[in-house]
Chains A and B, each alone.
Chain A
Amino acid sequence: MTVLGEFALWIALPVAIYGMFLGFFGGKTQRGDMVLSAERSIYAVTFLLLLAAIGVIVAFMGDKFQYWYVASYSNRDLETFYKFAGLWAGQRGSLLFWALLLSFFSTITVFTNRNKNREFMPYVVGVLQGIFTFFLVVLLFAKVNPFEKLAFMPADGQGLNPQLQNYWMTIHPPMLYLGFTSFTIPFAFAIAALLNGRLDTRWIVLTRRWVLLSWFFLSVGILLGMRWAYEELGWGGYWFWDPAENASLLPWLTATALLHSIQIQENRGMLKVWNMSLVAMTFLLTIFATFLTRSGLIESVHAFAEQIRIAYIFLAFLGTVTAGVVVLILYRLPQLQSENRIESFLSRESAFLFNNLILIGAAFAVLWGTIFPLIAEGVTGQKISVGPPFFNKVNLPIGLALLALAGIGPVIAWRRASKRNLKKNFMVPVVGSLAVSAALWMVGVRHGLALTTWGIGLFVLIIVAVEFWKGTRARARIESEPLPIAFFHLVSRNRRRWGGYIVHVGIVLIFAGIAGASYNQDVRKHLEPGDTMDVASPWGHTYHLTYEGLSTSIGRGQRNLDWQAIALISVRRGDKSLGNMTTEKRKYTTADQTMTEVSIHTSPEEDLYLILSAVDDMNGVLSNNANAQGIDLQVLVKPLLSWIWWGGLVLVVGSIIALWPSAERRRDLDEEEKSREVAVPAGAA
């Protein structure tokens, strides 16, 4: 099976090249037979990539350590679940996995469009096959072939890094990859529109849900990564501003900008060049992220040297695509003129435009901070680095401005907001949030930044709540429906709008949770059994912790586990017992160093986070010496932290509502297409 998989990879390359040329040429010459063949080549590539992926999985399951990739990421004792996940555990498998996911999305696209949008499809197929060609060339010729064999057969594999043996970490990369790959579809349609000259909003109408789908996967992928870092890395943080994280944030920022700016094009016929550029930019950033997350290009010059070939191929691809898009946009520039102009500073298009600029500004700042060390070294020869303080400092004001726009955008009028419109929509939210902020100040919330964030967040929440209330009440009155039914109908009649508002609520909750960090507590103490420790929460109550002692378990439990040293701590909050919490040091057979397992007690107002920082005498503990029980314990109190995860959940619900297919929208699409056919005689395109 594995040999067949490698063979399939080699076959897939010529098929992709064939499909690419046939797609472009068939589109140009309007040859139906060629186009059909090109479309079928997408199915063929999908089948071949599936065979290759199955080949890799079979190699993992069968412990075929003669393959470098399997030997590096698995061992005999690894749990089956993680062996399966080996497909995306490392760079080599990830690249194949990327192509596989893209092939699924491509197949869906080709199949659902087999009888419609025929003027787009040849070029869409050409673009997609071009991207497959690129990934197959990388896989086969850039020394990252997952089927590469070692010159010998190791007795056992290296095993998977224990930090990656975590539920969140297993589903986090596929989510991100789903986000990256699904964005390729809007990109392919945008290029097809540039090539076939159909530059009205059709390509946007066809792909806006793909954009949202991609955004949704990216959001979930990023949140899962944060969750993993919070639970597994053992220092209480969830975001490091490390290059891999930044790389996944960049396309998220530009995709967020795009989700807003396409609404301006749909409603007002403006920003056509900008939207094309944003689509291309986001696509390029997904490729950049795919490359960066698995290559270690930024953090280590050594990794770079090993990967010089793949780096060049990626850079060449990014450069070629950029140049191609620029040329196409310039060529079509006359047809990409705005149909309208911005009439007023105080209008929805203006608010959206600022939202776009600020998002792009944030993306630029993050990109700059990420590659700054490379640039600085190249220019001055001096290695300079910027760390988390840079990103926090720059993104803080940017984030707050965006948060405010999340409230302003939904209610400010298109074209020109009148004084009445402004007063009607903003009076209550502004006064309400100022009043609550003042009240918070009175009860002792004096941290300026946290207060600002919560105040702005509240402003957004009030706006969204008022909008929901107004819409529901109006519908209840007009249709004489009871309020809950009216609410349900309201949302289902315009899922995109109301789903979007719900996403804004999720974003507010996430920001509120992040701002809670202003009140973080961090207490450390050396403890012997029976010692107690008091930790004050900013809410006023106190946690009383009693260290009960250290126990060990050797060679039991999870596979690949060498031993565990478990510190037992009983916790009371005020007079109420919260039971026992345990935090551990673990040693896995496949890793040289020990690992810390933290313990988290979550409540809506805060997380209590215990870290077993150090054990005085590990050898004593392992030989069951009753006197070797001293530990260093670090206790963190993290106010509102769980709001980040709840906000994420709200965001997911909102996105799903916006994504849900509706019969109405399909009808709109078909009608729009019919009216166009009447307006433009066939063959004119």
Chain B
Amino acid sequence: MKMHGRFMVGLVGVAAVVSYLIWTGVSDTMVYYLTPAELVARVQADPSFRQMGVKVSGQVVPGTYERVEGQLLHRFRVRDLSDESVSFEVEYRDALPDTFTDDSEVVLEGRMDANGVFQATSLLTKCGSRYEAAPEDLKK
């Protein structure tokens, strides 16, 4: 019976370690997934919210995209998907995915700086991941 008890301790230990890893993993790496309107509202209500890393999905405002040559810097505005009046400037210093166009729906990760410019550390495009066309598209 002694052996059995020691063994149970080992098993419970493994389960505890895995749970601990998951728990800390989630709390250390989770980010809020917001709409641009929610992000702007949160930052206005509590300026310290700028420090939070967030994920935002919005729409690139057509015609606002510019690439700063020589600096590998991309700038554009992103607006809310439902409320067109809410938008902010985004800066992104990395290679853009092939699927990025100047009217893509994008998912950005990063934080809002003191000037209200969203400093994105990662950028994904949404329609790009759609390998399937909607039936309506075929009618075009």
Contacts and interface: CB of A to CB of B under 8 A. Distances in A.
Given A158-B137, A372-B26, A384-B31, A613 B72 contact: yes
A558 B90 CA distance: 37
B128 A345 contact: no
Contacts of B126: 300
- A-B complex: 5 closest residue pairs judged by Cβ atoms: A361-B18, A383-B33, A613-B95, A389-B29, A390-B29
A358 B4 contact: no
Given A342-B3, A365-B18, A384 B30 contact: yes
Contact of A394 (B21, B30, B97): B21
Interface of A: 68, 71-73, 89-91, 150, 152, 154, 158, 161, 163-164, 234-235, 296, 299-300, 341-345, 350, 353-354, 357-358, 361-362, 364-365, 368-369, 372-373, 382-387, 389-391, 393-394, 397-398, 524, 526, 592-596, 611, 613-614, 616, 630, 632, 634
Nearest to B38: A383
Interface of B: 3-4, 6-7, 10-11, 14-15, 17-18, 21-22, 24-26, 28-34, 55, 67, 69-72, 95-101, 109, 126, 128-133, 135, 137-139
Contacts, number: 139
Nearest to B26: A386
B68 to A, nearest CB: 10
Nearest to A586: B98
Contacts of A398: 18, 21
A354 B10 contact: yes
B95 A632 contact: yes
A56 B132 CA distance: 17
Given A235-B95, A393-B28, A593-B99, A524 B138 contact: no
B32 A382 contact: yes
A394 B24 CA distance: 9
A154 B138 contact: yes
A369 B6 CA distance: 31
A357 B138 contact: no
Nearest to B122: A387
A91 B132 contact: yes
A594 B67 CA distance: 16
Contacts of A73: 132
B101 A593 contact: yes
Contacts of A369: 22, 25-26
B25 to A, nearest CB: 4
B10 to A, nearest CB: 7
Contacts of A152: 139
B18 to A, nearest CB: 3
B88 to A, nearest CB: 19
13 contacts: A90-B132, A152-B139, A154-B138, A342-B3, A364-B18, A369-B25, A385-B31, A386-B30, A386-B31, A393-B25, A393-B28, A397-B17, A632-B95
